[in-house]
Structure 1
Amino acid sequence: MQAGQVLSGQAIVGEELALRPVDIVIEGDRITAIEENPRAPPVWICPAFFNAHTHLGDTIAMDCGSTGDLVSLVTPPDGLKHRLLAAATKKDLTAGMRASVTGMIRSGTLGCADFREGGREGVLALRDAVAGLTFRPVIFGRGGGEDLADGLGVSSTRDVPGVEEMIRHARNAGKKIAFHAGERDRGDIDAALSFEPDLLIHMTHATKRQLRACAEQEIPIVVCPRSNWVLGVTSSARHPPVRTMIELGCTLLLGTDNVMFIPPDMFSEMAFLSTIYHLDPRVILRSAVAGSELTRTPFFIRKGARAAFFTFDPAQSALVCSRDPVASLVKRAQTGMRGNNVFNLKTQ
């Protein structure tokens, strides 16, 4: 955006996601002022999404073996995805990830937390994939890739031998630690909690005691509901226990998981979460933005923040009839609707 630009509309402002008619003043890539404007046009301005859990490398395996189960498809080291990744060229892997990232940007997602397979080469491939794009990945490396990445991404504690040494090494290097836990059952959650991680993924079958520990230790939880249903680890609104997470004060984040069988589309993920789990739309939207805290420069629209948001013109669709723009963005908006313009942040 150009220095001194003013954008007017109905903005979803702050972490409270309050809808306000405003002028947003941007200088460089920063919001320098948010001023009330009762005459602001009926264009919606929404903070950009942050997809808090992806496996972007799986783009090259899209819809291959989509009828399998968790173990046969994605469990290391011999799951189908791992065999396909091992056989892929770096050129194809990088091109696939770039294609997914480009689609994410078009749909208002300007960052993600990616579990990056392939060691150091895998991390470098993702960095090549986002080169020149205004998109901020937070990379959790594996197989040695954590040395170059922002953190260490651990599969279930029962899938990874020598996890204690890996975590000790990552901690000494000042890296973040993220675990898959509780995806198919609750048996690996206590072990993950014992390492005091910075992020837990799934927690599909977590107990109230385990969730209370997450709340007390302030460990964010990323739920990936579509993935859980596709992989058959849940068929009930009781799993993942998102309502209990919220009631206990857990920090709830939203991710899409493996591109192999779930497109990294946050509009679809929010709509699914709303349909199955019947949450307050603002809780859902907040979970789709709040993962940006991992970048240390969150995407919420507030003075001093980076300009990372998109505009949506409801007059270009039936959404012109909406009585609640936040609810409509969560439940009804779709990638590719006319009037959707993304304002990109600069990658640091």
Structure 2
Amino acid sequence: MTDKSPQIISGLALVGEELAPLHADIIVEHGTITAIEENPRAPPLWICPALFNAHTHLGDTIAMDCGATGDLVSLVTPPDGLKHRLLRAASRDDLAAGMRASIGEMIGTGTAGCADFREGGEEGVILLRDASRDLPFHAMAFGRDGGERVSDGTGISSARDVAGVERIVAEARKAGKKVAFHAGERDAGDVDAALSFDPDFIVHGTHATKKQLRTCAEKGIPVVICPRSNWTLGVTDSAKKPPVMLMQELGCTIWLGTDNVMFVPPDLGGEMAFVSTLYKTDPASILRSAIAGSVLTGSQFFLSPGARACLRIIDPEQNALKFSRDPVTSMVKRAPFSCRGTNVFNS
């Protein structure tokens, strides 16, 4: 949105972190929500915060559905997992085009940003920035293999897979950058080491213990869950892993990600529907998890005065959603099919 004049967006808005439904006018000026005013006569549109995909590997787009079989180590563990070999063999143009195509898919389904673990060193970070250039999208690069120097943060594969972790983390902290770890994906053995660095978030926590999750809750370390990826890669076959209900009971901050595009589309609508079906958690908490990682951009996408205006407008009258008794539940369970709308994304 480039027009500097005030814009009024009216409908049933999901307001604040509570996602409280309110028939309202949302006033946007210079890309910022300046007021939310109740309006009982607002049109029957749904206004939802934009989504934020808290864990992606967008470079993997070039290996999408390549028919690979194997375990976590042989497929995605650096430096010689199948994905890493395919990435090294791909051209720069193909990598950039693949990432841009996946970003376009995310934009089309109401996602306004992602936290991408960036392979390929400095060049990999530059590729992501080239791929997202001029798009209404916050592509946060968590670099590795030297990419940490020019990225938004450091994305460490696992505390046990990377040499010199102490140095890498210390340099990131000195530069004022964020630190994130894969942890607990195949077992709980690397979680304690990751938590010892007080990271800004960990990814997976699939096999994290109750004690480890309590530490996450007490220290305020968000856990990014990627259930479809976990099931696809065979690190879980149980609704108890990742332990979503336990995370909620302990008060963990949960964010939602989709992980490797090689195996799973970067569609948070599909991820939300999967979590809802398999883990039986409250729809509002699932939707909240698909938004909350936006804090990494410097301003969460939740609808509140003073927040950056990153939202999507859905017209339920265009399809069967007009019969919905609960817009939040419908957005979580039916987003892949019906909840496409108009985006208002501001950088």
Determine if the alignment matches structure 1 residue 295 to structure 2 residue 297.
yes
Query: Cα 1:339–1:111, aligned 2, differ >3 Å: closer, same or farther?
Result: closer
Letter in 2 for 1:340: G
Matching residue within 103, 106, 126 for 1:101: 103
Choose 319-328 or 63-72, whichever is displaced more. Answer: 63-72
Aligned equivalents of 1:26, 1:81: Cα separation in 2:
43
1:1-348 pair list within 5 angstroms: 1=1, 2=3, 3-334=5-336, 337=338, 340-346=341-347
Aligned equivalents of 1:303, 1:227: Cα separation in 2:
36
The percentage of counterpart residues that share the same residue type is 66
Deviation at 1:313, TM superposition (A): 1.0
Choose 104-113 or 60-69, whichever is displaced more. Answer: 60-69
Query: Cα 1:148–1:46, aligned 2, differ >3 Å: closer, same or farther?
Result: same
Give CA deviations for 1:250-301 in whole Å, capped at 9, x if unaligned.
Answer: 1000000000010000100000000000111110000000000111111001
Match of 2:161, SS? Answer: coil
Deviation at 1:339, TM superposition (A): 6.1
Give CA deviations for 1:125-154 in whole Å, capped at 9, x if unaligned.
Answer: 000001101100121100000000011100
Letter in 2 for 1:306: R
Match of 2:42, SS? Answer: coil
Aligned equivalents of 2:233, 2:299: Cα separation in 1:
33
Choose 122-131 or 24-33, whichever is displaced more. Answer: 24-33
Letter in 2 for 1:164: E
Aligned equivalents of 2:75, 2:333: Cα separation in 1:
30
Deviation at 1:187, TM superposition (A): 0.7
TM-score, normalized by length of structure 1? Answer: 0.97
Aligned residues of 2:56 and 2:260 also touching (Cα < 8 A): yes
Match of 2:43, SS? Answer: coil
Letter in 1 for 2:234: G
Give CA deviations for 1:315-340 in whole Å, capped at 9, x if unaligned.
Answer: 111111110000010011225x4861
Runs of 4+ in structure 1 off by over 3 angstroms are none
Aligned equivalents of 1:33, 1:203: Cα separation in 2:
38
Deviation at 1:4, TM superposition (A): 1.2
Aligned equivalents of 1:124, 1:209: Cα separation in 2:
39
Gaps of 5+ in 1: none
Aligned equivalents of 1:4, 1:191: Cα separation in 2:
49
Aligned equivalents of 1:288, 1:282: Cα separation in 2:
10
Deviation at 1:67, TM superposition (A): 2.9
Aligned equivalents of 1:338, 1:263: Cα separation in 2:
17
Aligned residues of 2:109 and 2:340 also touching (Cα < 8 A): no
Give CA deviations for 1:67-110 in whole Å, capped at 9, x if unaligned.
Answer: 32211110000000000101111111111100100111111000
Choose 166-175 or 255-264, whichever is displaced more. Answer: 166-175
Aligned residues of 2:331 and 2:339 also touching (Cα < 8 A): no
Give CA deviations for 1:194-238 in whole Å, capped at 9, x if unaligned.
Answer: 111111000000110000000111100000000000001011111
Match of 1:253, SS? Answer: strand
Aligned residues of 2:117 and 2:141 also touching (Cα < 8 A): yes
Aligned equivalents of 1:78, 1:150: Cα separation in 2:
25
Query: Cα 1:193–1:108, aligned 2, differ >3 Å: closer, same or farther?
Result: same
Aligned residues of 1:66 and 1:261 also touching (Cα < 8 A): no
Deviation at 1:120, TM superposition (A): 0.2
Choose 5-14 or 161-170, whichever is displaced more. Answer: 161-170
TM-score, normalized by length of structure 2? Answer: 0.97
Aligned equivalents of 1:92, 1:178: Cα separation in 2:
27
Choose 238-247 or 312-321, whichever is displaced more. Answer: 312-321
Gaps of 5+ in 2: none
Match of 1:342, SS? Answer: strand
